[in-house]
Amino acid sequence: MNNANGSPTESLNNNESEIANTHRSWQRKKEIRPQEILAAALKLFVEQGYSATKVAEVARQAGVQPGTIYVYFENKEALFKAVIHASMSPVLSYSNDFLNNYKGTPERLLYELTHQWWNLMESEACAGIPKLITAEANNFPQLTQFYIDQVLTQAKHIVERVLQYGIDRDAFFVENIDVTSRMIMMSLHEMTVYEHSFNHFDKMKIDVPHYLDTLAAFLYKGLSCRN
């Protein structure tokens, strides 16, 4: 029945609409829950370290029950590996895609390499991961090996691609591409560790953009020299 002042039918329709909206909201919440857990875990792992971070704390940070985490992740080690993968994969994928389409000069590519690493790490909120791994390396060798295999090995391959780009265009002279790529990668990796560990205490603050500009210029001069 209907009337001008609002009918039971209208009220019923409103209730059904509210229930439908709540259901859709719950569905959206369910879909993004793993991402919320990973974001909470990343924050706590970086702040507290792997050992000190408890699954219950991650659950509180994510706004879920502790048991919910085990729906998606078998244990804390699996959660940690998922955090590394989810955080670093976008950085590595973007870099590879960029190289696949790059048509510029080798000199400019070195600039892109140094600056993109920093900008991507910061934008993906994963810049604290190198510090975390460095601090926990000896305590959790399996997790360290996972990071080496999933991140550092792939990052080294990206640097090797940059070097090969210059070699193919007779712009770079590289005696040992393995050692050279490791030197470049470590320069970027350790800068990230410094910024998120020592920079808070260092009275002589490093100007990161200037550091990256200088590093790119230094690399270009060294790689361009044949004698």
Mean pLDDT of 24-43: 71
| Domain range summary for the chain, segments of one domain joined by + | 1-73, 77-227
Over the chain, what is the mean pLDDT? 84
Of 104, 100, 97, 62, the C-alpha closest to 79 is: 62
pLDDT at 18: 52
Instruction: Give the tens place of pLDDT for each residue, 115-160.
Output: 988 888 876 567 788 888 888 889 999 999 999 999 999 999 999 9
Crossing angle for the helix pair 8-48 and 55-62, to the nearest 10 degrees: 140
Pick the CATH number of 1-73 from 1.20.1050.10, 3.30.590.10, 1.10.10.60, 3.40.630.30: 1.10.10.60
Q: Please check the confidence at residue 20 and state whether its pLDDT lies above 60.
A: no
Give the C-alpha separation, 124 to 197, whole Å.
18
pTM for the full model?
0.78
Least confident of 68-72, 93-97, 125-129, 141-145: 125-129
The answer to whether the beta carbons of residues 185 and 155 sit under 8 Å apart is yes
What is the topology classification, in CATH, of domain 77-227?
A: Tetracycline Repressor; domain 2 (1.10.357)
Question: Which helix (H) or strand (E) element contains residue 92?
Answer: helix 76-101
pLDDT in tens, 171-181: 999 999 999 99
